[in-house]
């Protein structure tokens, strides 16, 4: 099933209803941004262009296709990449939106196609880029602060963006965040 902007609401409702059945109760440890960056095989600012529910949703989750807008690590601008989110309960990815994604390759015995890229850190390695309501930033990155520790130099503006969000988050300036990611000595 392809997810487009027209049927996204219906699909999102179905996925939110089914999500508790497809996730486990594993506690997610907090990780530093430097560790997330170093452990990721690919990192990029992307625009999500397509979302497809995998045939084997319990193993492979939702597959996304995205266009790279700004490469950060092991990608190229304008490249089309495909990745999955197996952690549907944590995934808030929407077609048409921009994200900074941290991706890792699944192991060969994952049950998904070979060389499949997955969003890192249980799905929290996909950070939405948006213009947050009531925050004086043109474009910002929403950081899941409960799961990702930022460098001391970054002072996020704390807040939530939806009633569905169950973790602490904060917003940081997009350009400064990308600069931190592309300048290793600043992590």
Render pLDDT for 92-133 as a digit per residue (tens, 0 to 9).
Answer: 789 999 999 999 988 776 778 767 888 887 778 899 998 776
* Domains detected in the chain: 2-186 (2.40.50.120)
Quote the pLDDT of residue 87. Answer: 72
Residue 132 · residue 165 · CB < 8 Å:
no
Whole-model pTM: value is 0.77
72-91: buried (b, 16+ CB within 10 Å) or exposed (e) per residue? beebeeeeebebbbbbbbbb
Residue 180 · residue 154 · CB < 8 Å:
yes
136-162: buried (b, 16+ CB within 10 Å) or exposed (e) per residue? ebeebbbbbbebbbbeeebebeeeeee
Q: Residue 169's beta-bridge partner residues? A: none
Neighbours of 170 (CB within 10 A): 22
């Amino acid at each position: 099933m392809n997810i487009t902007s027209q049927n996204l609401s219906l699909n999102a409702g179905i996925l939110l209803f089914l999500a508790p059945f497809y996730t486990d109760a594993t506690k997610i440890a907090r990780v530093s941004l430097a560790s997330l960056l170093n452990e990721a095989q690919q990192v990029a600012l992307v625009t999500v262009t397509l979302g497809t529910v995998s045939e084997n949703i319990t193993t492979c989750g939702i597959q996304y296709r995205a266009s790279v807008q700004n490469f950060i690590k092991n990608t190229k601008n304008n490249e089309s990449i495909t990745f999955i989110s197996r952690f549907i309960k944590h995934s808030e990815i929407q077609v048409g939106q921009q994200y900074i994604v941290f991706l890792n390759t699944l192991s060969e015995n994952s049950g998904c196609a070979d060389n499949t890229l997955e969003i890192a850190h249980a799905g929290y390695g996909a950070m939405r880029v948006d213009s947050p309501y009531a925050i004086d930033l043109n474009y910002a990155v929403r950081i899941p602060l409960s799961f990702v520790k930022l460098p001391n130099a970054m002072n996020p503006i704390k807040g939530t963006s939806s009633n569905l969000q169950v973790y602490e988050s904060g917003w940081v300036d997009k350009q400064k965040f990308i600069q931190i990611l592309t300048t290793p000595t600043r992590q």
